Chains A and B, each alone.
Chain A
């Protein structure tokens, strides 16, 4: 099993550009989520999904969109990048929301200039 994979590993964007961060898991997990990690802030939930076709907002959803067309994939879209979105983004998956541990991808390091 590859576990949770994320692409790209690094990305530099200019303000106003859009892009999609890719996330895939091969563990048949229903629950997937996106977090951002900023210095001194811990990890904050952006969006999550409890299954294909179902998504919901987390703590810091503004400026991001998600969709879940398959169990395996959960892409995160930045609509119009801003310097405040410079961060490390982690995708995670779990058997069941809240109860079981989450498995994290390696992260995407995004810089917006």
Chain B
């Protein structure tokens, strides 16, 4: 069964600090997809990134970067020079691409609450 572990539950940093949010996943499939979502205090869920299991290239988008390492089953998210607007709950999620049944459902981690203080 697929599983996503976000061991950090709450992180608090001061503005301009760099912060890394950890995500460790478990899957028996060789083809799978990893996602990060952001949930700001307003409550909506915002898609940030999707990565498939065959693409281990790291990705950078502005102050955000993602490090995907299959060897350690991790897909970590780093925010550089954090800002108050980054305060949110961040979810990592996994889906296995095999078939079209329940095996390919999206499994979420429990989320990391990030607080960025001015």
Question: Counting CB contacts under 8 A, is B64 at the interface?
Answer: no
Residues of chain A at the chain B interface (Cβ within 8 Å): 33, 35, 40-45, 48, 50, 56-59, 88, 90, 92, 97-104, 106-107
Chain B residues lying within 8 Å of A104, measured Cβ to Cβ, are 37, 44-45
Residue contact A101 to B45, C-beta cutoff 8 Å:
no
Query: Known contacts being A40-B110, A98-B33, A101-B50, is A107 close to B105, with CB within 8 Å?
Result: no
Mark contacts of B70-114 with chain A using CB atoms, 8 A cut-off: 1 yes-contact digit, 0 otherwise.
000000000000000000000100011100111111101111000
Give the CA-CA distance A35 to B45 in the complex, in Å.
Answer: 12
Neighbour of A97 across the interface among B9, B91, B100, CB < 8 A: B100
Q: Is the CB of B43 within 8 A of A88?
A: yes
Taking CB atoms, residues of chain B closer than 8 Å to A35 are: 108
Which of the residues B9, B104, B110 comes within 8 Å of A99, measured between beta carbons? B104
B44 touches A106 (CB 8 A): yes
Cβ of A41: which chain B residues have Cβ within 8 Å of it? 110
Q: A97-B100, A101-B50 are in contact. Are A43 and B108 (CB under 8 A)?
A: yes
